[in-house]
Structure 1
Amino acid sequence: MTRSPLERQAKNVVEAYNKSHKNQVKLEIIPNDDMEGKVGGASQTDSLPDILAGDVVRIPYWASEGIFTDITKQIDGLDNKADLQQGHIEAGTVDGAEYTLPFITDVSVMVWNKNLYKEAGLDPEQGPKSIDQFVEQAKKVAALNKDGVAGSYLAGQSGGALVFDLFPSVWADGESVMNKDGSEATLDNDSMKGVLDAYKELANTTNGLGAGSKEETGATWTAPFANGKIGVMPYPNTSTTALFDAEKDGGFEVGVAPIPGTKEGKTSTFLGGDAMGISKDSKHVAQAWNFLYWLMQSDAQKEVFADQGDTASNIQTLKTAYKDADPRIQTINSVIIDGNGQTPKSPAFNEAFNAAGSPWQLLVQNAVWGSGDLKADNKAVTDVLSAQ
């Protein structure tokens, strides 16, 4: 069982496994917003599927609630454990017991519309190397005054999209968003303020942010850029494949770069996606492990991810299996290989950040479209994190 945003990648994985194994896996896709209720209900009735995959930021809570089977011995027995996406293993580690492995990697990158950049007199080969440049370039596109076209876009009502988009610039500056154990927010720093001020400036610029940014729940947050209406914005790499395909069919040209900090130089990414484990209710632990083990191997990672233009969770695969890939896919992979990305971990992450109406979502709304008090709004996030 996994969630709908990563359906294409999940289907590729399951089809490849079923074609080559007597043991068969049946895939169930759950709408993103229904995942929490579905998992909670199934856990209470002991009817969880054999293998459960979920948003890596939700995994710490699930693992702490005991919904996975302990597979520490199997994970530690993997020859290539060190090559795997460590954030997805750490997310499912509780008191030294390991419950999860990476399923699908989704990272945030900066994308820009080269056609709009040319029209705006910008260099179409140069994306923003700092948040100031991001604002400058977005404003140039905004100044085109084209019908329905805006400089950038923000999913103002989606806590999950907002962490994915905004946290990397803070990390790139060497700042943090939470303390080490995820019990306290540290969002009232100069970098976060700089990022929020940048979006506030765009919100106060004609055509600066796309229509609907303030109300966007995340259901359609990638669509305005995909439809050629946005100049530049942070974006999920799992959605870039569709952009490249559209480009081949005559669509606009897309630029891709790592997400910069407020200062030029360093970059970062949100190491997101889905981690997976074997549920507490599984009666087929050996067969389920066979699937997990198979997917961790570099051959499988190449077949189901690299060959499909998607991002592998195995660092060696990222380094070796993309020699002939689109250079932009190599750029996406580089943000993982360089080791600057992070996966935030807290059992209360969903309530504090991702949930509708979360204190983080309100913090962004206040800062971009209101008159925010970053210190007070940061404390509201801490209050939720520390309650766990």
Structure 2
Amino acid sequence: MWERSGGNKPMVDMLVEAWNTKNPDCKVNLTYIPHTEMVGKIAQGIASGEVPDLMGMDLIYAPQFEKAGQLVDLTSRIKDWPELKTASKGHMTVATFEERLYGVPLYADVSALFYNKDLFTRAGLDPNKPPTSLAELRAAADKITALGGDLKGYYLPGNCAGCNIFTVGPLMWASGAEIEAATKDDEPLTGDGVKQVLQFARDMVKAGNVHDGDRAENGETFHLQFGSGKIGMMGTGNFQINQIREQNPSMKFGIGLLPGATAGSSASFIGGDLVVVPRGSERVADAVNFMKFLLSDEVQVEVYAKALNLTTRTDMIDNKYFQAEPLVQDVAKALEVGRTPYTLTFFEQINSPQGPWLKMLQRAYYTDEPLDTIIADAKKSMKDIASQS
């Protein structure tokens, strides 16, 4: 099995160990491939016939591999599994191409609004009530920034395309917007929510509610920001809960949903990895058995939940381990409002450091150019990319 580095390595290690313990005659040999090399390496391996028996794949890239015929169609083997009815919708959306199934969830990352309860209390805010709209988020940020010193109300990663689709993208979805062009016929960046969120973010920067250094954040230190205790609120992921506690054990924090322009609206980015089988695999049956194992009640509870990682089935959220950890229960609610972009050109449109998504955000955050012009430029670039795919 190949898996990308930079993903949820502790979780994958535990899953493979659990499988190997139960299946000593069919052990998984796990190899990590550098994240930046994974797509190219698997494409090259498929072309040459030198592929792993199964692999973990960043779910966002699955559609382009499925369309290219580079993954094994598993529909006849897994379509009747009852576990798929409650499997993460975001994962299963991108695991499906032209009504054929190519994989199941390996692990889930969902975005949510983390907020510092200590700073909420100091600013006179209710520490048990996170913001439920962009206006409430702005008002809370203003009060926290007003505390002075090196404290800021909010965090915007200024040079990280992936960080922003994970945390700012949901603000747009919750405001009724659509972002990416799935095909050449789709219109990207539609709905008033695009401009509303860009205006919100621009206003946050102008009001001094974010640290100046945030502008340079390229993702390398993104996971360390909230645990510093200097930020009131930040969009980040479930993978941060244990890390924040290790980084800042005395800090009290809560988790809400990422809100939209209208009070009560919310959304989340469902990320993570799928388990798929590359074309040319000689152990398809064993790979499918591993997938079934991952979705089983026992593994969902005694491996995923016990380690305080999100279960990949929504009907497994109510378990004894999560009941003892309210924050995981809070972040699990994001699965119900989560979504995953579906496009064959995700990297080019969204994730590229030189792509139109990040360029649009940087112009919105840090310039005074008209937002309509900024959006129009990004829209044209995204549509051109989708048309060339």
**TM-score by structure 1 length?**
0.92
After TM superposition, give the deviation of residue 46 of structure 1 in Å.
Answer: 2.3
After TM superposition, give the deviation of residue 244 of structure 1 in Å.
Answer: 4.0
After TM superposition, give the deviation of residue 343 of structure 1 in Å.
Answer: 1.3
Partner of 1:131: 134
- Aligned equivalents of 1:105 and 1:302: distance in 2? 14
- Aligned equivalents of 1:57 and 1:18: distance in 2? 28
SS at match of 1:252: coil
Task: Tell me if structure 2 keeps the 8 A contact 1:185–1:379.
Answer: no
After TM superposition, give the deviation of residue 161 of structure 1 in Å.
Answer: 1.4
**Which amino acid counterpart does residue 109 of structure 1 have in structure 2?**
A
Task: Tell me if structure 2 keeps the 8 A contact 1:255–1:328.
Answer: yes
Would you say 1:347 and 2:344 are equivalent positions? Answer: yes
The CA RMSD measured in Å over matched residues stands at: 2.0
After TM superposition, give the deviation of residue 256 of structure 1 in Å.
Answer: 0.3
CA 1:244/1:280 → structure 2, altered by over 3 Å: closer, same or farther?
Answer: same
After TM superposition, give the deviation of residue 180 of structure 1 in Å.
Answer: 6.3
After TM superposition, give the deviation of residue 183 of structure 1 in Å.
Answer: 5.0
Partner of 1:186: 188
**Which amino acid counterpart does residue 57 of structure 2 have in structure 1?**
G
Correspondences of 1:120-269 after superposition (within 5 Å): 120-147=123-150, 149-178=151-180, 181=183, 184-206=186-208, 208-246=209-247, 250-269=249-268
- Aligned equivalents of 2:136 and 2:110: distance in 1? 21
Aligned length: 382
Partner of 2:101: 98
**Which amino acid counterpart does residue 386 of structure 2 have in structure 1?**
L
After TM superposition, give the deviation of residue 187 of structure 1 in Å.
Answer: 1.6
SS at match of 2:196: helix
CA deviations on 1:250-307 (whole Å, 9 max, x unpaired) are 3311110111111101211112111121111311112111111110111111122111
- Aligned equivalents of 2:17 and 2:213: distance in 1? 37
Gaps of at least 5 residues in structure 2 are none
After TM superposition, give the deviation of residue 237 of structure 1 in Å.
Answer: 1.1
CA deviations on 1:49-87 (whole Å, 9 max, x unpaired) are 211212211111122222211111122131322121233
Partner of 2:82: 79
Task: Tell me if structure 1 keeps the 8 A contact 2:180–2:350.
Answer: no
CA deviations on 1:287-328 (whole Å, 9 max, x unpaired) are 111111110111111122111111111121123455623122
Gaps of at least 5 residues in structure 1 are none
SS at match of 1:103: strand
Q: Structure 1 residues 105-114 or 35-44, which shifts more?
A: 35-44
Q: Percent identity at matched positions? A: 27
After TM superposition, give the deviation of residue 363 of structure 1 in Å.
Answer: 0.8
Partner of 1:313: 312
SS at match of 2:339: coil
**Which amino acid counterpart does residue 226 of structure 1 have in structure 2?**
G
Task: Tell me if structure 1 keeps the 8 A contact 2:113–2:236.
Answer: yes
Would you say 1:276 and 2:275 are equivalent positions? Answer: yes
SS at match of 1:151: coil
SS at match of 2:353: coil
Would you say 1:114 and 2:117 are equivalent positions? Answer: yes
CA deviations on 1:198-243 (whole Å, 9 max, x unpaired) are 111121123x213432221112212111222211011111222322
CA 1:30/1:188 → structure 2, altered by over 3 Å: closer, same or farther?
Answer: same
CA 1:286/1:365 → structure 2, altered by over 3 Å: closer, same or farther?
Answer: same
**TM-score by structure 2 length?**
0.92
**Which amino acid counterpart does residue 359 of structure 1 have in structure 2?**
P
- Aligned equivalents of 2:193 and 2:12: distance in 1? 35
Q: Structure 1 residues 236-245 or 266-275, which shifts more?
A: 236-245
**Which amino acid counterpart does residue 91 of structure 2 have in structure 1?**
H
Partner of 2:69: 66
SS at match of 1:263: coil
**Which amino acid counterpart does residue 112 of structure 2 have in structure 1?**
V
Q: Structure 1 residues 347-356 or 367-376, which shifts more?
A: 367-376
Task: Tell me if structure 2 keeps the 8 A contact 1:129–1:260.
Answer: yes
